[in-house]
Every structure is written in structure tokens, then in C-alpha cells.
């Protein structure tokens, strides 16, 4: 099993051990495009693994800050009352790069950059690059994906 994220198509695909596509989801990656440098606001490319999975059992729309649930639930009204927040909702799959010098260690380390696959507000478009570097998904989609994959699943991010 592995995940493939196509930056050009703004699409995440989940493949089974036999190579067949099991699921396909629209996503939103970095507004700044692809890139590996720390503080770039870009989505890193290359081979990654899901190092940690956070939020099992949390309700859809659960708000996370610093990878911890806040006991808040996202709604459009809640979002209007908190403008400018970069919403991390429902589930977090924290990525770790596998390629030293490219997406691991030093100023290109995806994990130190806090690059996640995570849920976002229903008001955010999918299929359009709008994130700050993470891979955003619809809440229902990230919950489904989270339940399908194990920690350590390979994630390949390509243009």
C-alpha cells in the first residue's frame, strides 16, 4: 500500500499492495508550489512516510493546534469568528522525508517543517493550490484515508 500525491492535478491516490488504485481524492497543496526549503510555504516533493497519525476517534471538524485537540469543532460560523487561522481539522498524518538532503535533515526536513496530510474547513476549495505547505483534504476524505492506512505508509509527492 502507498499514497501518491500529484501536485499538478491536486490529487491524492491510494494504491493497494497489488498496485491497483483503491481511492482517489481532490486535495489542496501549497499556494507557493513545490519546494523543500524550511519557511518556504511550499509542499515538499519526494518519498515520505507517515511518521505519526493523530486524531483517531476525534469528531469530524475537530480543531487541532500544535497537534493537540482544542475541544473546538469547526463550523462556518466558528471560522468567521476566528479569521486568518490555518485550520488543521479532523485527522493529522505527519510526514517524514526519506531522502537526506532533499526532504530529510537540515533545512529541508519535512517533519521539522510540520508537513501534514490533514482536514480543512468545508469552505476551502479542493483541486486548487492554497495551503501553506501541507496537503489539505475534505474532512470526510481525510478520516476515510486515515482509517485505511497504517503508520509508516509510503507517500510519494510528485509534480
pLDDT tens, per residue, the chain with 159 residues: 999 999 999 999 999 999 999 999 999 999 999 999 999 999 999 999 999 999 999 999 999 999 999 999 999 999 999 998 999 999 999 999 999 999 999 999 999 999 999 999 999 999 999 999 999 999 999 999 999 999 999 999 999
pLDDT value, residue 146: 98
In this predicted model, what pLDDT tens digit does every residue of 28-39 receive, in sequence order? 999 999 999 999
Residues in the chain: 159
Rounded Cα–Cα distance for residues 39 and 118 (Å): 19
Whether residue 89 contacts residue 119, with contact meaning beta carbons closer than 8 Å, is answered with yes
Rounded Cα–Cα distance for residues 102 and 47 (Å): 9
Rounded Cα–Cα distance for residues 96 and 51 (Å): 6
Whether residue 104 contacts residue 49, with contact meaning beta carbons closer than 8 Å, is answered with no
Burial category of 91 from C-beta neighbours within 10 Å (exposed 0-12, middle 13-18, buried 19 and up): buried
C-alpha cell, 119? 482536514
CA 157 to chain centre: 11
Whether residue 90 contacts residue 142, with contact meaning beta carbons closer than 8 Å, is answered with yes
pLDDT value, residue 84: 86
Instruction: Please state the domain extents for the chain.
Output: 2-158
Whether residue 105 contacts residue 120, with contact meaning beta carbons closer than 8 Å, is answered with no
CATH topology of domain 2-158: L,D-transpeptidase catalytic domain-like (2.40.440)
Amino acid at each position: 500500500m502507498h499514497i501518491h500525491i500529484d501536485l499538478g492535478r491536486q490529487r491524492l491516490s491510494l494504491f493497494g499492495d497489488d498496485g491497483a488504485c483503491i481511492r482517489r481524492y481532490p486535495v489542496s497543496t501549497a499556494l507557493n508550489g513545490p519546494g523543500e526549503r524550511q519557511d518556504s510555504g511550499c509542499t515538499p516533493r519526494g518519498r515520505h512516510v507517515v511518521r505519526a497519525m493523530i486524531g483517531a476517534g476525534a469528531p469530524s471538524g475537530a480543531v487541532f493546534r500544535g497537534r493537540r485537540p482544542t475541544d473546538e469543532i469547526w463550523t462556518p460560523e466558528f471560522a468567521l469568528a476566528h479569521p486568518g487561522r490555518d485550520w488543521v481539522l479532523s485527522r493529522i498524518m505527519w510526514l517524514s522525508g526519506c531522502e537526506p538532503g532533499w526532504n530529510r535533515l537540515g533545512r529541508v526536513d519535512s517533519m521539522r517543517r510540520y508537513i501534514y496530510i490533514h482536514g480543512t474547513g468545508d469552505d476551502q476549495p479542493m483541486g486548487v493550490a492554497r495551503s501553506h505547505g501541507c496537503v489539505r483534504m475534505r474532512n470526510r476524505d481525510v478520516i476515510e484515508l486515515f482509517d485505511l492506512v497504517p503508520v509508516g505508509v509510503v507517500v510519494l509527492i510528485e509534480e
